[in-house]
Structure 1
Amino acid sequence: MRVVPSRRRLAVEFAGLFVVAPVVLAVFLPPSAMFPALFAVTGAGLLLLHRTPGFRWRELLRGADRIGWGRVVALALATAAVGYGVVQATAPASFLALPRRNPQLLLMIAAFYPVLSALPQEIVFRPLFFRRYGALLPQGRVAQILMNAAVFALAHLMYWNWIVAAMTFAGGLAFAWSYRVRGNFPEAVVTHSIAGVILFALGLGVFFYSGNVERPF
């Protein structure tokens, strides 16, 4: 039996998952601990979602037959255009580094990123965020989407890079729109997956590599 949690408990959970955990990870833990800590937080998020009253895992499949492919393509093209400009302005030596120097790694990223990264991130930051903590969110879909994108960007604070913050905030807006407005979780996952692979292919993966993290203190 799933017990409805109190508002205070929800607030504590929300703060711990979406604020305290990313700050602690970014400020106190070494870069080598980033991914084990992220997996632990993700696991906690999946457990909390499973225990959310009224939630059923099968509902994540809703919308798979009505993905807005035109929207997905438009966002992919926008990601490619913006990503090209960013990599040329900030890291031109990394442009198309993976396709040119290590295409096998790029293929591995394309195969595993959607399942090992995009999908768990989307589960935690979309269904968990909106379903379990909906009572804590501000009124209005626009305010909720903005808050969701801000939290998604904060989760990437560990990279200490304004480019990562800007890209994840923009991505968070697009992914949250698919889930919150269109009610389409599969579309959010597909869009996230394609955008991520495009950024890695362009060479922006250099900003998402823990070995390159430089804390400002």
Structure 2
Amino acid sequence: MTDTAMLSPLVRRGRWVEFVTFFILVPVAIAVFLPASMMFPALFAMTGLGVMLLGITNAFTWRSLTEGVWRINWQLVAMTALATGIAGWVILSLSAPERLFALLGENAPRTADGWPVILIIALFYPLVSALPQELVFRPLFFRRYGAVLPGGRAALVLNAVIFSLAHLMYWSGIVALMTFIGGLIFAWSYEHRQNFPEAVVLHSVAGVVLFTVGMGAYFYSGNVVRPF
């Protein structure tokens, strides 16, 4: 069910404008115009707005977010983790071998309190990054805008494109490709399998694995170099 199914043509057009503004114009503006120091605050603000829009979407209920928690395919999670790890290892081996597993070992970076940075990432990435992103790019996308967008497989591909576009701020072809593939998997898990918890787990595991391998530098705004 989508929120636009019973809306008037005028409201449907308004919803389409809302979709284009939120998922296309805003990410492009962040990537093109904002300084690196402002990118993450802008993304957090965008996420907050997205959650607010989700909350007023008639076709969405917060209770739906727990549906599927007992149906998580842990074999799929393990395969995703393995594939992500191999992909990250290959990419870094070819592009920046010195970064491989930089967050592990005796000389790995630690917080001021002595905690390994990778442990902090593993603990907080699912809650601070994966969960908010999944709320915005899965339930908001499909429940609020589904009726004004293509359906079926086209919807999954479009969702992956939009998810990849949200990472344009890194100006990296590698990031664009990996987030597109990840977006396909997460969208399929949410929309096809009707399993939001599984999508969050897949996103969380993939992200933590990437940081563990050493791919975090690709997702750090301080390393952003615009091609213009």
TM range, normalised to the smaller chain?
over 0.9
Aligned to 1:124: 136
Name the amino acid aligned to 1:155.
Answer: A
Determine the structure 2 residue equivalent to 1:188: 199
Task: Give the equivalent residue in structure 1 for 2:146.
Answer: 134
Output one character per residue of 1:157-176: Cα deviation in whole Å (capped at 9) or x when no partner: 00000010011001001100
2:47 to 42, 62, 66: 42
Contact kept? 2:137, 2:159, Cα under 8 Å:
yes
Instruction: Please give the root-mean-square deviation of Cα atoms over the aligned residues, in Å.
Output: 1.4
| CA drift at 1:196 | 0.2
Normalized against structure 1, the TM-score is what? 0.96
Pairing partner for 1:177 from 188, 203, 208: 188
Give the deviation of 1:75 after TM superposition.
1.0
For 1:185 and 1:97, locate their aligned partners in 2 and report how far apart those are by CA, in whole Å: 32
Structure 1 segments of 4+ aligned residues over 2 angstroms from their partners:
2-5
How far apart, CA to CA, are the structure 2 residues paired with 1:164 and 1:54?
32
Q: In 2, distance between residues paired with 1:208 and 1:42?
A: 17
| Shift in Å, 1:119 | 0.2
Q: CA deviation at 1:8?
A: 1.5
In the other structure, the counterpart of 1:23 is 28
Contact 2:92-2:215 within 8 A present in 1 as well: yes
Q: For residues 7-30 of structure 1, what are the alpha-carbon distances to aligned partners after superposition, in whole Å with 9 as ceiling and x for unaligned?
A: 122111101111001100000000
Distance across 2 between alignment mates of 1:186 and 1:205? 24
Equivalent residue letter for 1:124: V
SS of residue paired to 2:94:
helix
Per-residue deviation, residues 66-121 of structure 1 (Å, max 9, x unmatched): 10111111111111111111111111110000113126110000000000000000
Tell me if the contact between 2:77 and 2:202 (Cα under 8 Å) persists in the aligned partners: yes
Is residue 149 of structure 1 aligned with residue 160 of structure 2? Answer: yes
Note the 1:38-187 alignment, pairs <5 A: 38-100=43-105, 101-102=108-109, 104-139=116-151, 141-187=152-198
Residue 213 of structure 2: aligned partner: 202
How many Å separate the matches in 2 of 1:117 and 1:175? Answer: 14
Counterpart of 2:198, as a letter, is E
Q: Name the structure where helix makes up a greater proportion of residues.
A: 1
What TM-score, normalized by structure 2, do the two folds share?
0.91
Query: What corresponds to 1:8 in structure 2?
Result: 13
3-state SS of 2:103 partner: helix
Q: Which ranges in structure 2 are unaligned for 5 or more consecutive residues?
A: 111-115
Q: Tell whether the 8 Å contact from 2:190 to 2:196 is kept in structure 1 after alignment.
A: yes
1:137 CA drift (Å): 1.4
Q: Which range is displaced more, 100-109 or 174-183?
A: 100-109
Letter in 2 for 1:46: V
Match of 1:211 in 2: 222
Give the deviation of 1:54 after TM superposition: 2.9
d(CA) in 2 for partners of 1:146, 1:68: 22
